[in-house]
C-alpha cells in the first residue's frame, strides 16, 4: 500500500500541487536566468555553470537526505547553500565570473522559492501557528499528514508572506543591483536572512531541528548574514547581523520560558492527552508537564494539568490549551500549580 504524503496531494488538475508549482518555479527561474545571461554577457562556460550546477546540487542534496532520513525532506537553506556553494567552487575552478554567476543563481533560487512556498501553502507544509486571521486546512490535508488538531483553524499565513517577501526581494535585488556585480546577491541574502529569521517564530510545524531555542533556519540565517557582512561589509549588512544576533541571544537566554509552548512539545502533549483519555491514567511529558483526563457529568472532559517547570502558570496553560482546543475553559485548581482545562 502506498502511504500518501504532502508531495502527493492536494492536486492541481490531477497532479501534485507541490510538484506542479515546483516545476513552474524552476521554469520561470530558468527564463530569468536566460535573460540575465544575455544582458550580462555570460560566456558559454558561465551559462553552463548557471543552468546545470544548481539543479544537480539540488538533486544531490535531496537524494542524500532521502537516503539518510528514509523520507523526502526538502529544506530550502540546505539546497540553496548547496547550489550557490557548488557554483562558486565550479566557477573558481574554471575561471568564470563567479560574482555575476552568483547573482544569477541567487535571484533564480529566489524566483523558484516564490513558487515553492505557494506549493507549501497548497499542501499545508511549513505552516504557521493559530492566529486570529490567516488560512485554514481541512480533511484533504489531514489525510496527507497535516495535524488534525488544527484542521479548520486559522493559521498565520507564513508561506504566503514568505512568497510575497521573496518576490519583492528578487525585484529589489535586480533593480538596485543591476549594474554592480555582487549587489543582487547581497540584497537578496541579507533581506531573506532577516525575513526568514523572524518568520520562523510564527512557524507551527514541529519536525525541525533546534539548538538553544533556535531553529536550523534561524541559525543558518545568522550564519548567512555573518558571511555577507564579511564578504561585503556595509552599514546595512552590519545592522542586519547585529539585529539577528541580538534576537538570537535573547531567544537562547529565555528559551526555557517558552519551551512548553513550542510546537514539538505541543505535539507531545497531544499524544499524552490521547493516551490519558484512553487509559484513565496520568501521563507526563519530557518537559515535566503532567496531564490526566476525567469525564464530567455534563459530558465535558476535564483535563487536569500540572508541572514543576519554572515557566508553568495559568497563562502558559491557557496558551497550550489554545493550541490544542479551539473551544476550552481554563480554571485554577484548589492545589497550587494544578490547572483544569474543560473541553467538549
Q: With bands split at pLDDT 50, 70 and 90, how would you rate the model's confidence at 13? A: low
What is the per-residue pLDDT for 73?
A: 74
What is the per-residue pLDDT for 307?
A: 94
What is the per-residue pLDDT for 65?
A: 80
What is the per-residue pLDDT for 1?
A: 29
Quick check: 12 pLDDT over 70?
no
Quick check: 89 pLDDT over 70?
yes
What is the per-residue pLDDT for 106?
A: 97
Quick check: 5 pLDDT over 50?
no
Dihedral sign, Cα of residue 159, residue 160, residue 161, residue 164:
positive
Is omega for the bond preceding 37 within 30 degrees of 0, making it cis?
A: no
Are residues 194 and 243 in contact, defined by beta-carbon separation less than 8 angstroms? yes
Q: Parallel, antiparallel, or unpaired for β 15-16 and 11-12?
A: antiparallel
Taking residues 95-121, report their average pLDDT.
96
Average pLDDT, the chain: 91
Q: How many CB atoms lie within 10 A of CB 343?
A: 16
Going from the C-alpha of 291 to that of each of 88, 261, 298, 329, 343, the distances in angstroms are: 53, 15, 20, 16, 14
Taking residues 3-20, report their average pLDDT.
63
pLDDT in tens, 217-229: 999 999 999 999 9
Quick check: 74 pLDDT over 90?
no
Considering only CA atoms, which of 251, 268, 261 is closest in space to residue 211? 251
pLDDT in tens, 170-211: 999 999 988 999 999 999 999 999 999 999 999 998 878 889
With the CA atoms of 57, 62, 65 and 71 taken in that order, what torsion angle do they form, in degrees rounded to the nearest 10? 180
Q: Parallel, antiparallel, or unpaired for β 301-307 and 289-295?
A: antiparallel
pLDDT in tens, 325-336: 988 999 998 898
Quick check: 11 pLDDT over 70?
no
What's the N-to-C CA distance of the chain in angstroms? 36
Amino acid at each position: 500500500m502506498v502511504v500518501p504524503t504532502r508531495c502527493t496531494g492536494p492536486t492541481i488538475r490531477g497532479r501534485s500541487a507541490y510538484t506542479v508549482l515546483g516545476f513552474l518555479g524552476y521554469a520561470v527561474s530558468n527564463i530569468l536566468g536566460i535573460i540575465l545571461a544575455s544582458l550580462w554577457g555570460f560566456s558559454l562556460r558561465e551559462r553552463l555553470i548557471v543552468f546545470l550546477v544548481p539543479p544537480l546540487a539540488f538533486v544531490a542534496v535531496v537524494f542524500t537526505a532521502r537516503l539518510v532520513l528514509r523520507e523526502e525532506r526538502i529544506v530550502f537553506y540546505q539546497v540553496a547553500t548547496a547550489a550557490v556553494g557548488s557554483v562558486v567552487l565550479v566557477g573558481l575552478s574554471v575561471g568564470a565570473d563567479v560574482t555575476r554567476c552568483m547573482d544569477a543563481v541567487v535571484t533564480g533560487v529566489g524566483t523558484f522559492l516564490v513558487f515553492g512556498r505557494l506549493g507549501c501553502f497548497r499542501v499545508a507544509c511549513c505552516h504557521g501557528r493559530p492566529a486570529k486571521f490567516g488560512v485554514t486546512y481541512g480533511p484533504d490535508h489531514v489525510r496527507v499528514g497535516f495535524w488534525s488538531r488544527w484542521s479548520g483553524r486559522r493559521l498565520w499565513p507564513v508561506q504566503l508572506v514568505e512568497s510575497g517577501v521573496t518576490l519583492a526581494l528578487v525585484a529589489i535585488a535586480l533593480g538596485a543591483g543591476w549594474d554592480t556585480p555582487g549587489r543582487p546577491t547581497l540584497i537578496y541574502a541579507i533581506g531573506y536572512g532577516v525575513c526568514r529569521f523572524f518568520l520562523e517564530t510564527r512557524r507551527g510545524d514541529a519536525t525541525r531541528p533546534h539548538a538553544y531555542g533556535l531553529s536550523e533556519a534561524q541559525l543558518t540565517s545568522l550564519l548567512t548574514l555573518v558571511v555577507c557582512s564579511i564578504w561585503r561589509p556595509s552599514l546595512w549588512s552590519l545592522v542586519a547581523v547585529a539585529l539577528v544576533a541580538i534576537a538570537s541571544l535573547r531567544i537562547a537566554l529565555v528559551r526555557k520560558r517558552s519551551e512548553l509552548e513550542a510546537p514539538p512539545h505541543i505535539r507531545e502533549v497531544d499524544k499524552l492527552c490521547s493516551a490519558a483519555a484512553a487509559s484513565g491514567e496520568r501521563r507526563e511529558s519530557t518537559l515535566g508537564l503532567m496531564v490526566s483526563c476525567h469525564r464530567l457529568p455534563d459530558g465535558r472532559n476535564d483535563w487536569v494539568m500540572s508541572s514543576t517547570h519554572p515557566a508553568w502558570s495559568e497563562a502558559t496553560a491557557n496558551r497550550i490549551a489554545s493550541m490544542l482546543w479551539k473551544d476550552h475553559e481554563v480554571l485554577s485548581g484548589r492545589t497550587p500549580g494544578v490547572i483544569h482545562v474543560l473541553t467538549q
